[in-house]
Amino acid sequence: MPDTSDRPQIPAWWARRAPAAGAAVMATGILSVGLYLTDHETLSRIALALASVGWLALAADFAVRLVRDRARWVREAGTPAGLTAVAATTVLGIRFSALGWQTLAEALLALAALLWPVLLVAVVRHWRRRAAGGVFLVCVATQGLSVLGSAVASAERWDWLAHAAMVLFWLGLILYVIAYTRFDLREVARGAGDHWIAGGALGISALAGATLVAAHHVNPYLWNDDDQGALRATTTVLVTLALVGFCLLLVAEVVWPRPRYALERWGTVFP
C-alpha cells in the first residue's frame, strides 16, 4: 500500500487554519451574491452551495472548540479572524434573503447578532498598533449585520429592524476609522492578502448605505428627507473611496507582486 503518512489530512488542515478559514466561506458567499446581481443564477447557486458547506464545517468547528477546548476558543476569538464567523453568516443570510428564504435569513441574522457583540468586544480588547488588514473585520462584520438587517427589514416591513440597521451602519463607519488608525500602512506593500480587507470594508459599507437607501422605496415614511439625503451623500462618498482604494491596492499588487499562496489572500475577493 502507498505511504500516505506525509499527506495532509483534511481535519488537520482545517484545525490549523480555523477560524481564519471563515474568510474563504465569506469570499465564496460574496461571489454568490455578485453572480446573482449580474444574472448568473446557476453559477450563483453553485457558489452558494459551496459557501453553505464551508459554513457548516466552520460552525461545527466553532461549536466543538467551544465545548472541548474553551481556552483555545477564547484565544482565537480575540483575533480579528474570529469575526469572519459573523461576516460569513451575514453574507449567506443576504443571499438567502434574495432567494426569498426569509425564515432562514432571519435565523442567520439572529445567530450573527448573538455572536457579533461577544467577538467584537474580544477583538477590541486585544487591539494593537501596526495591525494587519484583518483589523478592518470589525467594520466588515458590523456592516454585514446592517446589510442583512436592511434586507430582512425590507422583506418583512419591519421598521424597527431598519432603524437598527441604520445604527449599525454608522457604527461600522466609526469602527472603520478606528481600525484605520491601527492599520500598518506598510501592509499594502508586504501584506499576505488581508490588506485588501481595507478596501472590502469600504465596499460593504457602501452596500450597507445603498441597502438603507433602497429601504426607503419600500416604505417612503421610513426616513425623513434629511436622513435620506445624508444616506445618499455618504453612500456616494463610500463608493468613490472604495473605487479609489481598489485601484491603489491593485497598483500595489503590480509594484510589489506576491504570487505565493497564503490563506489571507481570500481577502482580495472582498473589494
d(CA 143, CA 147): 6
d(CA 116, CA 270): 19
Above 80 in pLDDT, residue 80?
no
pTM: 0.87
Above 70 in pLDDT, residue 264?
yes
Of 99, 85, 11, 12, nearest in space to 47 by CA: 99
Q: Mapping DSSP to helix (H, G, I), strand (E, B) and coil, where does residue 183 land?
A: strand
Above 60 in pLDDT, residue 2?
no
d(CA 55, CA 63): 12
Above 80 in pLDDT, residue 122?
yes
Retrieve residue 104's grid coordinates.
432562514
Retrieve residue 264's grid coordinates.
489571507
Structural domain boundaries, residue 15: 10-269
Are 239 and 206 in contact, with CB atoms under 8 Å apart? yes
Q: Per-residue pLDDT averaged across 187-201, rounded?
A: 90
Q: Per-residue pLDDT averaged across 160-173, rounded?
A: 94
d(CA 236, CA 126): 33
Q: Residue 152 CA to chain centroid, in angstroms?
A: 17
Asked if residue 3 belongs to a domain, the reply is no
Q: Per-residue pLDDT averaged across 59-72, rounded?
A: 75
- Whole-Å CA distances, 37 to 29, 44, 160: 13, 9, 27
Number of domains in the chain: 1
Are 73 and 65 in contact, with CB atoms under 8 Å apart? yes
Q: Mapping DSSP to helix (H, G, I), strand (E, B) and coil, where does residue 234 land?
A: helix
CATH number for 89: 1.50.10
- pLDDT at res. 7: 45
- Whole-Å CA distances, 194 to 166, 208, 271: 27, 21, 11
Q: How confident is the model at residue 1 (pLDDT cuts 50, 70, 90)?
A: very low
Mean pLDDT (the chain, rounded): 86
Of 57, 67, 55, nearest in space to 10 by CA: 57
Asked if residue 109 belongs to a domain, the reply is yes
